[in-house]
Amino acid sequence: MNAELEANKTPWHTMDIEEIARSLQTNLERGLDTSDIENRQARYGLNKLTSRQSRTPLMIIFDQLTNPLVLLLIGAASLSLFLGKTIDALAVFAIVVLNAVLGFIQEYRAENAIAALQSLSSPTVRVRRNASILEISAEQLVPGDVILLEAGNTVPADARLIEAASLRVQEAALTGESEAVDKEAGILNQPGTPLGDRRGMLFMGTAVTYGRAVALVVETGMQTELGHIAGLISNIRTEPTPLQKRMAQLGKTLAFTVLGIVILAFAIGTIRGEDPILMFQTAISMAVAAVPEGLPAVVTIVLAMGAQRMLKRKALIRKLPAVETLGSVTVICSDKTGTLTENRMTVTVLDVAGHTLELEEILEKGHPLLLASEPAITTEWESHILLSGVGALVNDAVLQGSDQTCSDCKVLGDPTEAALLVAAARLNLWQQDLQKIFPRVGEVPFTSERRRMSTLHRLQAPDASQPFHPSHKLVGIFPQPGSVVVMTKGGVDGLLDVSDRVWVNGEILPLDEIWKGRIAAANEQLAGRGLRVLGIAYRPLADDTLSAASSGMVEVSEEVENQLIFIGMVGMMDPPRQEVYQAVQTARQAGIRPVMITGDHPLTALQIARMLTIVDADETRVLTGQELAMLDETKIKEAVRDVSVFARVSPEQKLVIVDALQSQGEIVSMTGDGVNDAPALRKADIGVAMGITGTDVSKEASAMVILDDNFASIVSAVEEGRQVYDNVRKFIRYTLGSNAGELLVMFVSPLIGLPTPLIPLQILWMNLVTDGFPGLALTLEPPEKDTMRRKPVSPHENVFARGLGWYILRIGLVMAVVTLAFAWYFWSSGNAAWASMVFTLLIFAQAWHALAMRSVSESLFRMPFASNPALYAAIVLTFALQMAALYWPPLQRLFGTVPLSGSEMLITLAASLTIPLWIEMEKWIQRLPLKAKL
Ligand code: ADP
Ligand code: MG
């Protein structure tokens, strides 16, 4: 079947691009026409893998109905039917259906919420349609589309290359080969060439690690190579999250425990001579009473709703388990630039030849560059022209708008580069002018390993007919027109390693130890102020170095970055984000350690960390990538325990840091934006990608995306994560506590000689009403005040930990004692309504119980009504339904109830209040030692 598939497929890799364009009826220059898209989508379908489909409504209904307890109930109802008790049987069926409907609605909503989150995180792609470039969701691609890709993109479909510039693609997803492959347009393969060798093709799901490309989409969705693989595994269901697994486990354990108790009760009852059939039904009702059927579903719902709330707070969850893991995070590792800081850079300092000058000062000095008259330009000004001019040329940002002082300029591109363009413009060196005289002819792109980039420029003779302009001055500094100059900018430390001369007031001197020392000292002084420092250098190329490529861009290797002439440094301010300061406090209060990991200079990093109180003001420990590389494993483990600032770190080292932290038992969240960050993002317990600056590859590797690139959003997500776990625990507290009460009442009554107070239908009703409405509403409870003031809990913590198990037993006992005493009193005094009173008492008590559970420590009277109105509505509904069960004749007949008199109702109500009173008293006692301390 596989061979057949292979044979039917078009061998795109053997066809040249024109041939493919013809067969797909597309125009490579214009792209497809938008009017054509609908037709194509109808024919080829959406570009997505169907294996990740969510559960269908039918699957949810099936799961609901095959729950073992529901099956048990259906069995019991069938038995009743067989024995001729039609009404009973129908009522049980009705309750089963109602229960299933409620569960279905909730689960369906949860599934939809999850599906919506998934489609939100689908990547976008740039495509050429109607001769212009659009950005569309990758799902919308069709065969025949022309797409534009660059480093960091995931390939969104199978495509044939039209153009490729230094293109490298990592195809591990398909071939298992982790080394990136060079790709080239125009390569034709023989039929049968293995995937890994089809170098003229791009495949869905692989990652562009370097370069740029234009490509023609040939296959989409399940027709792609990845689609074929996915097709083979499409039946795998999504893995349940750890919490869901534990809840399912808990459900099973409870079911068995209860089964034991029930068999015991059945045996005792039968021995005492009760009707075995009634006893059987009672036993089953008890089982149903005790087991929280809704638990696994509630977990799914709470997780999905938690993910939705996180989205409102700018954290997009890509993997559902992240919601719960977030609550356990103990260390948040974060990038600096853009995440902790605003990424709004402003150049404030220029440093040439060992003279540090504030930019404002330079401008105040009369600004001779604006005079634009040649004689006014001294050698000192010449140095500033060179520094800023080169900074503006070795630059991929684009300046827009050009008012006199550039106070209002808009810049597209990287903020670091934008700052350089603005600074140059303020010295009257405008990017457009510079680019005319120094057109770019080659480039070595920025990488975070080298921390620098270079461009090559061919000098043009300035137009003599134009009036003198400062940028003309720059020409004089370099050799004659026609020659090529390398311009480089990057981290100062690294740049000094590849420079051997230095520019000093118009002279080029050897870069000796004295100069190196002076530059390094100035660099450290600037970094110590928290400034980001970039070094700038250049070198004229000997003419023959660059082959006669006079037109178009050439590919240049990193080798050109050597024997450079160091010009100077620029220092730029990047203010810390306002809201991060608060978020750091919150994190620390919550027992979470924030850690900064940056590619920037150690002193810059340390200073920003101090400003944000990530470290104390007198902290001096900072570990650089270089130092890290020299430590052995045990030393690294020791270091990560208390060093909180890591600088000049390469992406690969992020993985080392995550590993070391995890080996210390930490639950680690790690941010990243680049292609190389993907391994660390995958390894971290919570990989966090940047929504704005992040690459597709980093997003795909992460569990969560922060849409605003803001550290504060990670902390908010942690808070939501804790709340999710809290609310699941509240639900367990409430349902299991109440169920324990019901079970004890049913179990003990016959032992103390009391007739069984509740009939099976009443128990089923009770569970439907109390778990279904107040129980679910309880999961809507907003976070408690102390959510972010306690230590993180281990993700492996037992659900019953921290007193929860004891609470369930305690409250069950209290409820049983109150109910049994109440029952005994009214039964022995011969009150005909005693059983209906007990039935009502238990329902009321549970409704109050839910209310008191709003907070596990705070007094109910301090909980604002408005923060969970749904719960109050649910309680009113519960009371109303119980009134119907007591006073509406059809339900009276069904449940065998008698109407209560006014005073009986009041007494029942009063007795039910003992439950919330007891809980409030417990909470009060728990708060006592705290009060004493204050
Ligand atoms: P962070 O980890 O704080 O986000 P980056 O990885 O962006 O820092 O930058 C690390 C270092 O790389 C900077 O300190 C700087 O030396 C260098 N650098 C950053 N952007 C550029 C750029 N556009 N051109 C040249 N060098 C750069
Ligand atoms: Mg960065």
Give the Å distance between the CA of 688 and the centre of ligand 2: 13
User: Of 502, 433, 441, 435, which Cα lies nearest the Cα of 469?
Assistant: 433
Give the Å distance between the CA of 653 and the centre of ligand 2: 14
pLDDT at 5 > cutoff 70: no
CA angle 354, 356, 358 (to 5 degrees): 165
For 242-312+717-933, give the CATH class: mainly alpha
pLDDT at 579 > cutoff 90: yes
Tell the CATH topology of 2-52+116-235.
Answer: 2.70.150
Looking at residue 162, its pLDDT comes to 94
The Cα 746–Cα 262 span in angstroms is 10
CB 494: neighbour CB atoms within 10 A?
A: 17
Atom in ligand 1 nearest the alpha carbon of residue 451 = 12
Give the Å distance between the CA of 338 and the centre of ligand 1: 11
Pairing of strands 410-412, 440-447: unpaired
What percent of the chain is modeled with pLDDT above 90?
A: 51
Q: Is the CB of 336 under 6 A from ligand 1?
A: yes
Test site for ligand 1: of 411, 492, 598, 673, most ligand atoms within 8 A of the Cβ: 598
CB of 167 closer than 8 Å to CB of 159: no
Give the residue, 616 or 265, on which the prediction is more confident: 616
Looking at residue 518, its pLDDT comes to 94
Q: Is the CB of 335 under 6 A from ligand 1?
A: yes
Mean pLDDT of 67-76: 74
Say which ligand is closest to the CA of 605.
1
DSSP, res 154: B
Mean pLDDT of 342-346: 91
Q: Between the CA atoms of 792, 795, 796 and 797, what dihedral angle is there, to the nearest 10 degrees? A: 40
Q: Is the CB of 760 under 6 A from ligand 1?
A: no
Q: Is the CB of 417 under 6 A from ligand 1?
A: yes
Asked which of 49-63, 227-241, 443-457 is least confident by mean pLDDT, the reply is: 227-241
In tens, the pLDDT along 476-527 reads: 777 777 888 999 999 999 999 999 999 998 899 999 999 999 999 999 999 9
Q: Is the CB of 397 under 6 A from ligand 1?
A: no
Q: Between the CA atoms of 847, 848, 853 and 859, what dihedral angle is there, to the nearest 10 degrees? A: 160
User: Of 166, 165, 157, which Cα lies nearest the Cα of 201?
Assistant: 157
pLDDT at 236 > cutoff 70: no
Q: Tell me which residue has its CA closest to atom 16 in ligand 1.
A: 491
**Which residues, including other chains, have CB under 8 Å from residue 71's CB and lie 6 or more apart?**
none
Q: Is the CB of 574 under 6 A from ligand 1?
A: no
In tens, the pLDDT along 247-305 reads: 877 877 887 887 888 788 888 888 878 788 777 777 777 777 777 767 777 888 888 88
Element (H, E) at 621: none
The Cα 667–Cα 741 span in angstroms is 37
Confidence of residue 4 (pLDDT cuts 50, 70, 90): very low
In tens, the pLDDT along 584-615 reads: 999 999 999 999 999 999 999 999 999 999 99
Atom in ligand 1 nearest the alpha carbon of residue 338 = 4
Q: Tell me which residue has its CA closest to atom 27 in ligand 1.
A: 490
For 316-341+577-709, give the CATH class: alpha beta
Say which ligand is closest to the CA of 414.
1
pLDDT at 235 > cutoff 50: no
pLDDT at 733 > cutoff 70: yes
Say which ligand is closest to the CA of 488.
1
CB 296: neighbour CB atoms within 10 A?
A: 23
pLDDT at 549 > cutoff 50: no
Looking at residue 222, its pLDDT comes to 86
User: Of 134, 126, 175, which Cα lies nearest the Cα of 152?
Assistant: 126
Test site for ligand 1: of 334, 420, 451, most ligand atoms within 8 A of the Cβ: 451
Q: Is the dihedral angle over the CA atoms 197, 199, 204, 207 positive or is it negative? A: positive
Looking at residue 472, its pLDDT comes to 73
Give the Å distance between the CA of 314 and the centre of ligand 1: 25
Give the Å distance between the CA of 415 and the centre of ligand 2: 11
In tens, the pLDDT along 412-423 reads: 888 999 999 999
Give the Å distance between the CA of 690 and the centre of ligand 1: 16
- Phi first, then psi, for residue 342 (nearest 5°) are -80, -15
Asked which of 88-97, 363-372, 373-382 is least confident by mean pLDDT, the reply is: 363-372
pLDDT at 372 > cutoff 70: no
In tens, the pLDDT along 81-110 reads: 887 778 778 877 877 787 778 778 877 887
**Which residues, including other chains, have CB under 8 Å from residue 377's CB and lie 6 or more apart?**
368, 369, 385, 470, 473
What percent of the chain is modeled with pLDDT above 70?
A: 92
Do 242-312+717-933 and 346-573 agree at the fold level? Answer: no
Atom in ligand 1 nearest the alpha carbon of residue 414 = 23
The residues pairing with 566 across neighbouring beta strands, listed in sequence order, are 502, 537
Give the Å distance between the CA of 600 and the centre of ligand 1: 6
Give the Å distance between the CA of 550 and the centre of ligand 2: 34
Q: Mind spelling out the 3-state secondary structure of 316-376?
A: EECCCHHHHHHCCCCEEEECCCCCCECCCCEEEEEEECCEEEEHHHHHHCCCHHHHCCHHH
Test site for ligand 1: of 335, 416, 626, most ligand atoms within 8 A of the Cβ: 416
Looking at residue 176, its pLDDT comes to 78
The Cα 261–Cα 251 span in angstroms is 15
Asked which of 18-27, 58-67, 747-756 is least confident by mean pLDDT, the reply is: 58-67
Give the Å distance between the CA of 181 and the centre of ligand 2: 25
Looking at residue 519, its pLDDT comes to 95
Looking at residue 382, its pLDDT comes to 82
Give the three-class secondary structure for 512.
coil
Q: Is the CB of 448 under 6 A from ligand 1?
A: yes
Mean pLDDT of 389-398: 93
In tens, the pLDDT along 257-273 reads: 878 887 888 888 888 78
Looking at residue 383, its pLDDT comes to 87
Burial classification of residue 289, based on how many CB atoms lie within 10 Å of its CB (0-12 exposed, 13-18 middle, 19 or more buried): buried
Looking at residue 9, its pLDDT comes to 72
Q: Is the CB of 489 under 6 A from ligand 1?
A: yes
Asked which of 244-258, 369-383, 855-869 is least confident by mean pLDDT, the reply is: 369-383
Q: Is the CB of 292 under 6 A from ligand 1?
A: no
CB of 436 closer than 8 Å to CB of 425: no
The encoded tokens of residue 137 equal: 């969701």
Confidence of residue 238 (pLDDT cuts 50, 70, 90): low
Confidence of residue 71 (pLDDT cuts 50, 70, 90): confident
Tell the CATH topology of 346-573.
Answer: Calcium-transporting ATPase, cytoplasmic domain N (3.40.1110)
Give the Å distance between the CA of 335 and the centre of ligand 2: 6
Test site for ligand 1: of 339, 396, 446, most ligand atoms within 8 A of the Cβ: 446
Note if 145 is an active site residue: no
Looking at residue 141, its pLDDT comes to 94
Give the Å distance between the CA of 599 and the centre of ligand 2: 7
Q: Is the CB of 416 under 6 A from ligand 1?
A: yes
CB 595: neighbour CB atoms within 10 A?
A: 23
Q: Tell me which residue has its CA closest to atom 17 in ligand 1.
A: 451
Say which ligand is closest to the CA of 599.
1
Q: Is the dihedral angle over the CA atoms 625, 629, 630, 632 positive or is it negative? A: positive
Test site for ligand 1: of 334, 412, 534, most ligand atoms within 8 A of the Cβ: 534
pTM: 0.84
Give the three-class secondary structure for 466.
coil
Q: Is the CB of 600 under 6 A from ligand 1?
A: yes
CB of 318 closer than 8 Å to CB of 704: yes
Q: Tell me which residue has its CA closest to atom 9 in ligand 1.
A: 599
Q: Tell me which residue has its CA closest to atom 8 in ligand 1.
A: 599
The encoded tokens of residue 835 equal: 């059983």
Burial classification of residue 578, based on how many CB atoms lie within 10 Å of its CB (0-12 exposed, 13-18 middle, 19 or more buried): exposed
Atom in ligand 1 nearest the alpha carbon of residue 535 = 16
CB of 916 closer than 8 Å to CB of 852: yes
Asked which of 325-334, 344-353, 410-419, 457-466 is least confident by mean pLDDT, the reply is: 457-466
The Cα 21–Cα 769 span in angstroms is 64
| Residue indicated by tokens 């363009």 | 421
The Cα 875–Cα 877 span in angstroms is 5
Catalytic entry in 88, 145, 158, 335: 335
Q: Is the CB of 337 under 6 A from ligand 1?
A: yes
Q: Which residue ranges make up each domain of the chain? A: 2-52+116-235, 57-110, 242-312+717-933, 316-341+577-709, 346-573
pLDDT at 550 > cutoff 70: no
Q: Is the CB of 491 under 6 A from ligand 1?
A: yes
Mean pLDDT of 675-693: 91
The Cα 68–Cα 79 span in angstroms is 16
Task: Tell me the average pLDDT of the chain.
Answer: 87
Atom in ligand 1 nearest the alpha carbon of residue 339 = 4
Q: Is the CB of 296 under 6 A from ligand 1?
A: no
pLDDT at 551 > cutoff 50: no
pLDDT at 580 > cutoff 70: yes
In tens, the pLDDT along 793-828 reads: 988 888 888 889 999 999 999 999 999 999 999 999
The Cα 775–Cα 424 span in angstroms is 64
Test site for ligand 1: of 341, 448, 600, most ligand atoms within 8 A of the Cβ: 600
Q: Tell me which residue has its CA closest to atom 14 in ligand 1.
A: 600
The encoded tokens of residue 433 equal: 């002018």
Atom in ligand 1 nearest the alpha carbon of residue 649 = 2
The encoded tokens of residue 66 equal: 């095959």
